[in-house]
A and B are shown apart, each in its own frame.
Chain A
Amino acid sequence: MRRNGPLALIFHGIFVAVMVAPIVVVCLVAFTPEGYLSLPTNGLSLRWFRAIASYPEFVHAFWISLGLGALSSFVALLFAVPAALAIARYKFQGRAALAALFLSPLMIPHVVLGIAFLRFFTSIGMSGSFAALLIAHVIVVFPFALRLTLAAATGMDLSVEMAAISLGAGRWSLFRRVTLPLILPGVISGWALAFIQSFDDLTMTVFLAAPGTETLPVRMFLYIQDNIDPLVTSVSACVIAVTMTALILLDRFYGLDRVLAGKGDTGR
């Protein structure tokens, strides 16, 4: 394999610098000691991180986002694991159509999903509730949960299951003691990726959230619409820190390129 020339490396340097620039700027501005937007030139200060505590809307929104992300990813897996096992192992009528349907939330613009869910939940009198948000998030994160579980179930060594059956394992203990432990890395990564998707979603959630059920991205977006000040940069810095932690863990345990491979691919 040939090496990169100096020109290629310069291009690479600029490319990477531009990719990280907006994220770095947000994190730097968050540490400003001034009362207005500026890069911290006279020392660093945590005043804007302390300011978050006196703005309960952000704290509340953070807990909503965290709970919603954790719960919706878990519920999505309850539906996705059996579906993934069926799609990975059996050839049945309508298998391709089902897989396409289950991955379709990836293809439908989130603004359309937001509108559809708002219309639906309003007509059944659930609009603005946490339950409505939860159901909507389950649908949106389902493809991510399904895809990683599917990958794990497809690559599984079936002879282990055969052995368990021949030793007299029942269907449930077969699943709980053999199948589930074997596909667990895929299931956990699916949960983590689904969590990040739910935690970050703005476009769909902005249609459904009401005061009291606003998630963190929605709260941040509405705040930015009015004015941009250092407070929202310190909140963003916290969000970035949470995501980076999840990301590094995902990369360690599963490999980021594996998690993301075909993420945007519409499930051909």
Chain B
Amino acid sequence: MSAVTDMAPASAAATPSELTVRAPRVLTAPALMLFVGVLLIPLAMTVMLSFHDWGQYKGIEPVFILKNWREIATDPYYAEMFWRTFRIALLTTLITAALGAPEAYILNRMSGSWRSFFLLVILGPLLISVVARTLGWALLFGGNNGLVNKLLMSFGLLRSPLPFMFTETGMVVALTHVMMPFMVLSVWAALQRLDPQIENAAMSLGAGSFTIIRRIIMPQIMPGVLSGAIIVFSLSASAFATPAIIGGRRLKVAATLAYDEFLNTLNWPLGAAVAVLLLVALVLIVVGSNALIERRYAEVFR
């Protein structure tokens, strides 16, 4: 990309230096105006909104108070709700990593046509409506005699049916399914950078399969697993459709609570405060862990 810095349409009309200064400005100006006008300004308005007052009868009052933030900080309901949100996101992340990384490795060892077929099958759901996928889980869970319970009990893995609908267990299972393609994709990308000859070298030096996986493969795909984990965590923590459908009206996470405040209770300032807190928490977590990973694995990122 850098080789084309001083690009040539220049020679046609203006001098190169003049064009390299003006052309990118002109080309990016429409998109920049769009983003400032319809993204940055609304986001700033939302932050402002979280400091406004609200009452059942008076509606939103544009004053600057800390009422909403104080309520979130002191009412244990919000602490419990955020803790539930991050607990579900963390569990989902751990399970996707534990299952997705081996699957990506297995995929990578398959022969060409099988590999592209299964890659399509596993990554395809990423583009299928989340509502449809979650509906599938609601059907599979379906009360105490749902398919999942029947299957687990017939294999002797469960004695009595486990409640999945309206529970955190169900949310984690469905979210894991929704997020899995991101993890497989991320580990898959790391595996593509891996030199297969290293594995062969280890084998010829007498390493067993387990040693190869633990000492050769794992360290090299770890950056992929970690960056996949960041994506899965931040998407799970802000997920809306799956928690809303599986969790029902009572088991709230941050996104569904914000939705409720906006469209049912109509307490917009409080809803805005919940959303802003979620955004800030996620940005801090993502930026922090990205920095940690990049320092730890500086050499892998070239």
- Interface residues, chain A, CB within 8 Å of chain B? 1-4, 8-9, 11-12, 15-16, 18-26, 29, 37, 78-80, 82-83, 85-92, 95, 98, 101-102, 104-105, 107-112, 115-120, 123, 135-136, 138-139, 142, 154, 158, 161-162, 165, 169-171, 174, 196, 199-200, 202-203, 206-207, 217, 220-221, 224-225, 228, 232-233, 236, 239-240, 243-244, 246-247, 251, 256-257, 260-266, 268
A221/B142 in contact, CB under 8 A:
no
A12-B103, A12-B106, A115-B271 are contacts. A23–B133 as well, Cβ < 8 Å?
yes
23 A–B contacts, CB within 8 A, in A order: A1-B109, A2-B199, A4-B110, A12-B118, A15-B103, A29-B139, A80-B31, A89-B4, A90-B20, A105-B39, A110-B238, A112-B276, A116-B42, A119-B46, A142-B31, A174-B9, A202-B240, A203-B255, A207-B262, A217-B130, A228-B139, A260-B181, A266-B286
In the complex, residue of chain B having the shortest beta-carbon distance to the beta carbon of A98: B28
A25/B136 in contact, CB under 8 A:
yes
A165/B124 in contact, CB under 8 A:
no
Measured in the bound complex, the distance between the Cα atoms of B275 and A154 in whole Å is: 37
Question: What is the 8 Å Cβ interface bit string for chain B, positions 33-52, against chain A (1 contact, 0 not)?
Answer: 01100110111011001000
A83/B9 in contact, CB under 8 A:
no
In the complex, residue of chain B having the shortest beta-carbon distance to the beta carbon of A108: B279
Measured in the bound complex, the distance between the Cα atoms of B282 and A104 in whole Å is: 13
Measured in the bound complex, the distance between the Cα atoms of B133 and A221 in whole Å is: 12
In the complex, residue of chain A having the shortest beta-carbon distance to the beta carbon of B39: A139
Question: What is the 8 Å Cβ interface bit string for chain B, positions 104-132, against chain A (1 contact, 0 not)?
Answer: 00110110000010111111111111111
A1-B109, A119-B268, A224-B245 are contacts. A111–B238 as well, Cβ < 8 Å?
yes
In the complex, residue of chain A having the shortest beta-carbon distance to the beta carbon of B133: A22
A115/B31 in contact, CB under 8 A:
no
Note all chain B residues with C-beta closer than 8 A to A142: 31, 35
In the complex, residue of chain A having the shortest beta-carbon distance to the beta carbon of B258: A111
Asked if B231 is at the interface of the complex by the 8 Å CB criterion, the answer is yes
Measured in the bound complex, the distance between the Cα atoms of B256 and A35 in whole Å is: 31
B103/A11 in contact, CB under 8 A:
yes
B129/A263 in contact, CB under 8 A:
no
A228/B135 in contact, CB under 8 A:
yes
B interface SS class: helix
B30/A79 in contact, CB under 8 A:
yes
Note all chain B residues with C-beta closer than 8 A to A111: 238, 240, 254-255, 258-259, 275, 278
Residue tally, chain B, CB below 8 Å to A = 104
Partner of A118, one of B43, B188, B262: B262
Asked if B157 is at the interface of the complex by the 8 Å CB criterion, the answer is no
**B132-170, CB < 8 A from A:** 132-140, 142, 147
Asked if B235 is at the interface of the complex by the 8 Å CB criterion, the answer is yes
A25/B147 in contact, CB under 8 A:
yes
Partner of B118, one of A16, A80, A251: A16
Asked if B73 is at the interface of the complex by the 8 Å CB criterion, the answer is no
Note all chain A residues with C-beta closer than 8 A to B45: 116, 119-120, 123
Q: A12-B118, A89-B4 are in contact. List 20 more A-B contacts (CB 8 A).
A: A2-B109, A11-B106, A19-B122, A22-B133, A22-B174, A23-B133, A80-B31, A89-B7, A105-B39, A109-B255, A111-B259, A112-B46, A115-B275, A142-B31, A165-B9, A200-B130, A221-B131, A257-B119, A262-B189, A263-B126
Measured in the bound complex, the distance between the Cα atoms of B11 and A165 in whole Å is: 8
B131/A220 in contact, CB under 8 A:
yes
Asked if B241 is at the interface of the complex by the 8 Å CB criterion, the answer is yes
Partner of A20, one of B99, B121, B137: B121
A82-B28, A158-B4, A221-B241 are contacts. A206–B103 as well, Cβ < 8 Å?
no
Partner of A236, one of B107, B122, B129, B244: B129
A115/B272 in contact, CB under 8 A:
yes
A83-B27, A239-B129 are contacts. A21–B34 as well, Cβ < 8 Å?
no
A12-B103, A19-B177 are contacts. A202–B241 as well, Cβ < 8 Å?
yes
Report B162 CB to chain A, min CB distance, Å. Answer: 16
